[in-house]
Amino acid sequence: MKRLALLLATVCASPFPAHAIDLDAPAPAFVAQDAAGRPVALAQFRGKTVVLEWTNNGCPFVGHMYRSGVMQRLQRQAAADGVVWLSVISSAPGRQGYLTDPGVAAWRKSVGAEPADVILDPAGSLGRAFDARTTPDMFVIDRQGRLVYAGAIDDHVSTDPADAKTAHNYVAMALADLRAGTPVNPRWTLSYGCSVKYQ
């Protein structure tokens, strides 16, 4: 199992440089469609903290976060705190992780995912606007609409669910800093995981 995790880490998890997106600046405005075909606009969440989670159900780095239960707990806590959690799927048709509405419903049920909504981005326009590199790749937007965190989910590059439970979770830290009214620290980290399966 450790050999498999090491192989996956070597193949999928080479670190990506810092995102080519401005922190502490307004997050890129967007209007996208959710899995049910409804429009979702960033502007509709003005006044709320928003988390964007790039996901791919075929990626082992995403899989271990859900198998550990860590991602679902973060999503539930976010909802309880009034944070809007949006999972984004930028996999293109025919590529790993591509889903349509029925597939999204089945995925959510199978792993117990609890985001506020799931955005389908098969053309990759939303992913490229945020310069999303990996799955998972995480972004936190504050109540004023500023991007205050971009990067990895946590500090442990792994596909072992046990590691997700003990890692320092950067998204949880960012949300705690926002609740406390203190500057988010760290503001960015190196993203790791599987590459986003753009067209």
Residue 198 CB neighbour total at 10 angstroms: 16
Angle at 2 between CA 172 and CA 161, to 5 degrees: 30
Q: Which residues contact 99 (CB under 8 A, 6 or more apart)?
A: 35, 57, 89, 91, 107, 120
Instruction: Give me the tens of pLDDT residue by residue for the chain, a chain 199 residues long.
Output: 443 343 344 344 445 455 668 888 999 999 999 999 999 999 999 999 999 999 999 999 999 999 999 999 999 999 999 999 999 999 999 999 999 999 999 999 999 999 999 999 999 999 999 999 999 999 999 999 999 999 999 999 999 999 999 999 999 999 999 999 999 999 999 999 999 999 9
Whole-model pTM over 0.85 = yes
* 19 neighbors 159 (Cβ within 8 angstroms): no
Q: How far apart are CA 69 and CA 47, in angstroms?
A: 28
Q: Where are the domains of the chain?
A: 2-195
Residue 19 has a pLDDT of 65
The 3-state secondary structure of 53-90, one letter per residue: EECCCCCHHHHHHHHCCHHHHHHHHHHHCCCEEEEEEC
CATH class of 2-195: alpha beta
CA 144 to chain centre: 20
